[in-house]
Amino acid sequence: MKLYDYFRSSAAYRVRIALNVKGLVPERAFVHLRRGAQRDDDYLALNPQGLVPTLVTDGGDVLTQSLAIVEWLDETFPDPPLLPADAAGRARVRSLALAIACDIHPLDNLRVLTYLTGTLGVPETQRVGWYRYWIDVGFEALEARLAREKATGRFCHGDRPTLADICLVPQLANARRVAFDFSPYPTLLAIEAACNALPAFADAAPAKQPDAE
């Protein structure tokens, strides 16, 4: 397998965690997003969206979209599972994961921020304000759910990590890239600490990647 990755990409971070949980070590290629390598012809031929991650399987399938990749990994290498055994549990975990991957992360993506500052001329202070605002909006709802729902355990769902934790930890890491007030989010922080105590999560952190700067 070959993973197209970038250390600071939280979507790629999700896939790195899932690979580690499954004990898989892919070949790596690094796409330098800050230098615009995601728009190079070679990469666009592989992934026309010009986003990381991309995973090329041993069978030659080109997989894009981190959640689709994580679910493919989970179906192909089922042990340990990243989704609960029951349908209601899977719906809950996917709902938490999608609240991050669809409703927080895209608003703070590099191309959106570049459009804000470059095309619309939004000043730097407002760019940072935008970045924090959308994380806060998403985290408020996640904190409320995770604090009150009985299915929450040491992790987002019970006592083993799932797809929801795989999305939460990278999103918290993104929030740390700006001065961010974490005090309203004790449940999120407790889950993050439980995740990062596991080597699968800790070893996937941006600072530990070979392309980290």
- What is the nearest approach in angstroms of ligand GSH to the Cβ of residue 67? 6
- What is the nearest approach in angstroms of ligand GSH to the Cβ of residue 146? 21
Site map (CB under 6 A) of ligand GSH, residues 68-107, x = contact: ---------------------------------x------
Does position 10 interact with ligand GSH (CB under 6 A)? The reply is: yes
Q: Which of 65, 162, 171, 187 binds ligand GSH (CB under 6 A)?
A: 65
Task: Give the integer Cα–Cα distance in Å for 194 and 201.
Answer: 10
- What is the nearest approach in angstroms of ligand GSH to the Cβ of residue 132? 17
How far are the Cα atoms of 32, 85, 164 from residue 188, in angstroms, in the given order?
A: 30, 23, 11
Q: Which of 33, 97, 166, 195 binds ligand GSH (CB under 6 A)?
A: 33
Task: Give the integer Cα–Cα distance in Å for 208 and 32.
Answer: 16
Task: Give the integer Cα–Cα distance in Å for 71 and 62.
Answer: 14
Number of alpha carbons in the 13 Å side-chain half-sphere of residue 197 = 10
- What is the nearest approach in angstroms of ligand GSH to the Cβ of residue 50? 6
Q: Which of 1, 29, 98, 110 binds ligand GSH (CB under 6 A)?
A: 110
- Contact criterion met (CB below 8 Å) for 107 and 129: no
Q: Which is nearer to ligand GSH, 21 or 101 (CB)?
A: 101
Q: What is the DSSP letter of 210?
A: T
Task: Give the integer Cα–Cα distance in Å for 99 and 93.
Answer: 10
Which structure tokens are listed for 47? 């992934």
Which structure tokens are listed for 35? 């230098």
Q: Which is nearer to ligand GSH, 52 or 198 (CB)?
A: 52
- Contact criterion met (CB below 8 Å) for 202 and 209: no
Sites for ligand GSH among residues 45-64 (CB under 6 A): 51-53
Does position 66 interact with ligand GSH (CB under 6 A)? The reply is: yes
Q: Which of 57, 109, 117, 196 binds ligand GSH (CB under 6 A)?
A: 109
- Contact criterion met (CB below 8 Å) for 157 and 95: no
Does position 32 interact with ligand GSH (CB under 6 A)? The reply is: no
Q: How many beta carbons lie within 10 A of that of residue 142, not counting itself? A: 23
Binding positions for ligand GSH, rule: CB under 6 A: 9-11, 33, 38, 51-53, 65-67, 101, 109-111
